[in-house]
Amino acid sequence: MKTPEKNIIEGCDRKEDLIGYIYEELSAIERSSFERHLAGCPTCSEETRAFGRVRDDLSTWQVGFTPQTEFQPPRGKWSVFFELVGMFPFWARGVALAAAAMILATFSFGAWQMLTGGGKTPTTEISSAAVEAMIQEAVAKERFKLMEDFKTEMAGLKERINAENESRLQSVKADQDARIKTLQAGFQSELRKVNRQNSSIRSFFAMDDSQEPWGGTR
C-alpha cells in the first residue's frame, strides 16, 4: 500500500525530478538529464502527460475578482473618543462640557469636605505595612503599661516585705531585751547574793584572832 509521503513511481524513483520538470524548476543540466530519462521511461512519460492534464483542469478554476478588503488600522482610544465627540452638534458638546464641569465641581467639593473633616470620615485604604506598624505600636504600648504595673507591684511587695521584716525584727528585739533584762535581774540578784556572802566572809576574816568565831574568847 502506498502512503502519501512515500509514494513513488513504480519502477522509477525520479518523482522529484518529474515535479521539478513539469513546474520548470530544474536547472538546464537537470532538465536535459531528465528529458533523456523521459525518452526511455514510459512510466515517467505517462505521468508527465497525466499531470499536464490535471494542471490543465486545475487552471479552469479561477478567482476573477479582488475582495476589496476594508482594512482600517486599529486606532487609539483617544482618537476614537475625539471622533465620537465630533459627531455631536456644537450646542450638545457645550451642554456635555457644562455637565462634566458641574460633575467635576461636585466631586471636588465632596473631596474637599471629606479632607477637611466637614463630611463623613473619609474611608481610606490602609496598607498592610501601616496596619503592621499600628499593631506593633499597640503591642509596645501594652508592653510598657504591663512593665509599669509590674514595677509598681514589685515596689509595693518590697515595702510590705520590709515592713514585715521590721515588725519581726522589733518583736525579736523586744523579746531579746526582755530576756536580757530578766538575765540582768538574775545576775544582779546573784551578784547581791554573792556580795552578801563576800561581806560575810570579809567580816569573818576581819575579826580578832582571839575572838572565836562564835563570839567567845580564847
Q: Which residues are CB-contacts of 85 (< 8 A; sequence separation ≥ 6)?
A: 93
CB of 84 vs another protein, minimal distance in Å: 19
Phi then psi for 217, rounded to 5 degrees? -110, 145
* Residues in 81-100 at the binding interface with another protein, rule: CB under 8 A: none
CB of 39 vs another protein, minimal distance in Å: 21
**Secondary structure of 37-60 in HEC code, one letter for each residue:** HHHHCHHHHHHHHHHHHHHHHHCC
Task: Look at the alpha carbons of 75, 79, 80, 81 in this order and tell me if their dihedral is positive or negative.
Answer: positive
Q: Look at the chain and count its residues.
A: 218
Among 11, 29, 71, 90, binds another protein (CB under 8 A): 71
Q: Does residue 80 belong to the site contacting another protein (CB under 8 A)?
A: no
Whose Cβ is closer to another protein: residue 25's or residue 137's? 25
Among 13, 27, 68, 202, binds another protein (CB under 8 A): 68
Give the integer Cα–Cα distance in Å for 14 and 22: 12
Interacting stretch for another protein, rule CB under 8 A, among 20-28, 30-38, 98-106, 168-176? Answer: 20-28
Cα torsion at 35, 36, 37, 43 (round to 10°)?
A: 70
Interacting stretch for another protein, rule CB under 8 A, among 1-9, 28-36, 162-170, 196-204? Answer: 1-9
**What CA–CA distances, in Å, run from 13 to 161, 178, 213?**
117, 140, 177
Q: Does residue 78 belong to the site contacting another protein (CB under 8 A)?
A: no
Report helix, strand or coil for 217.
Answer: strand
Give the integer Cα–Cα distance in Å for 40 and 43: 9
Q: Does residue 59 belong to the site contacting another protein (CB under 8 A)?
A: yes
CB of 29 vs another protein, minimal distance in Å: 17
Phi then psi for 9, rounded to 5 degrees? -65, 130
CB of 2 vs another protein, minimal distance in Å: 8
Interacting stretch for another protein, rule CB under 8 A, among 45-53, 112-120, 147-155, 170-178? Answer: 45-53
Q: Does residue 27 belong to the site contacting another protein (CB under 8 A)?
A: no
What residue ranges bind another protein (CB under 8 A)?
Answer: 4-5, 7, 15-16, 18-20, 23, 25, 50-51, 53-55, 57-71, 73-74
